[in-house]
Amino acid sequence: MSERPIGIFDSGVGGLTVLRALRKKLPSEDLIYFGDTARVPYGTKSPKTIIRYSIENTKLLKRFNVKMVIVACNTSSSYALEILKSEFSDVPILGVINPGARLAVSATKSGKVGVIGTEATIKSGAYRKAIHFINPSCLVFEKVCPLFVPLIEEGWLNDPVTLEVARRYVLPLLGKGIDTLVLGCTHYPLIKDILLKICKNVTLIDSAQAIADEVAKALPSKKESGKGNVKILVSDKTDRFEKIAKMIMGNKIEIEEVSIDKE
């Protein structure tokens, strides 16, 4: 069991922030990442489609005999996590919502927490429910940010256009007096520098680090030595994905295109 890899999936490049955090936290573990680049973004899809994609992605990772599956997509975590746990009960499956919510509750001093995410994630109310389950007295202010994922997938990580879009999204939340902002999409840490320009004196919650800490505790068995291998798979290999992936993970990575439908 300890020699088997950990599987991670996301709709595109965003989950690479989780892959990077896991690589740093668990350097001996073999990691397999799947980015569903042919069908990104998930945040505008219906719950039915999000669930179907999430099931197909999990089946793909299970081809590699993974010992755990990390749903490194807030949208999939919002709608599909419990279904995945039920359908694939033979392997532990973790999502990013609860670790991020716990981190936010522990960070806030005012009890006012902002959440930014895709349309689907915010509509699900997953973060609000998770935060209120931990601390019912917290005030949660949510904002749909539909342009962030396309801008990030385009590689506009430090572009003036992205900064202006971020101002329009985030300033209303700051006006509510939040002291903590949950980056409710694993793409969003890639524009953290831009968000920090706007969110002065606000703690940004990156669920990538939170999920890495959770995985370290929950792994059924660990590789205790050696340097783990990293495999990156995509449903559509594009120059854009490769450019951002190398920026996040380093220039030595290799990316392989795979078929989702293969049994």
223 touches 30 (CB < 8 A): yes
Beta bridge partners, 35, equal: 10, 234
How distant is the alpha carbon of residue 193 from its chain centre? 17
Does the annotation flag 74 for ligand binding? yes
Does the annotation flag 175 for ligand binding? no
The C-alpha angle 254, 259, 261, rounded to 5 degrees, equals 155
Residue 125 burial (10 A CB sphere; 0-12, 13-18, 19+): middle
73 assigned to active site: yes
Does the annotation flag 155 for ligand binding? no
Backbone angles phi, psi at 39, to 5 degrees: -125, 10
Does the annotation flag 10 for ligand binding? yes
Does the annotation flag 58 for ligand binding? no
CA distance 80 to 55: 8
Check the CA dihedral 150-246-181-170 and report its sign.
Answer: negative
Q: Which long-range contacts (CB under 8 A, 24 or more apart) does 254-257 make?
A: 256/231, 256/232, 257/233
145 assigned to active site: no
Residues sharing a CB contact under 8 Å with residue 242, sequence separation 6 or more, in sequence order? 255
Does the annotation flag 251 for ligand binding? no
Q: Which of 73, 138, 145, 199 is catalytic?
A: 73
Q: Which of 138, 145, 185, 199 is catalytic?
A: 185
176 touches 198 (CB < 8 A): no
Q: Count Cα neighbours of 198 within 13 Å in the Cβ-side half-sphere.
A: 23
16-25 and 207-218 are packed helices; what angle lies between their axes, rounded to 10 degrees?
Answer: 50
Residues comprising the binding site? 10-11, 42-43, 74-75, 186-187
Residues comprising the binding site for substrate? 10-11, 42-43, 74-75, 186-187
Catalytic residues: 73, 185
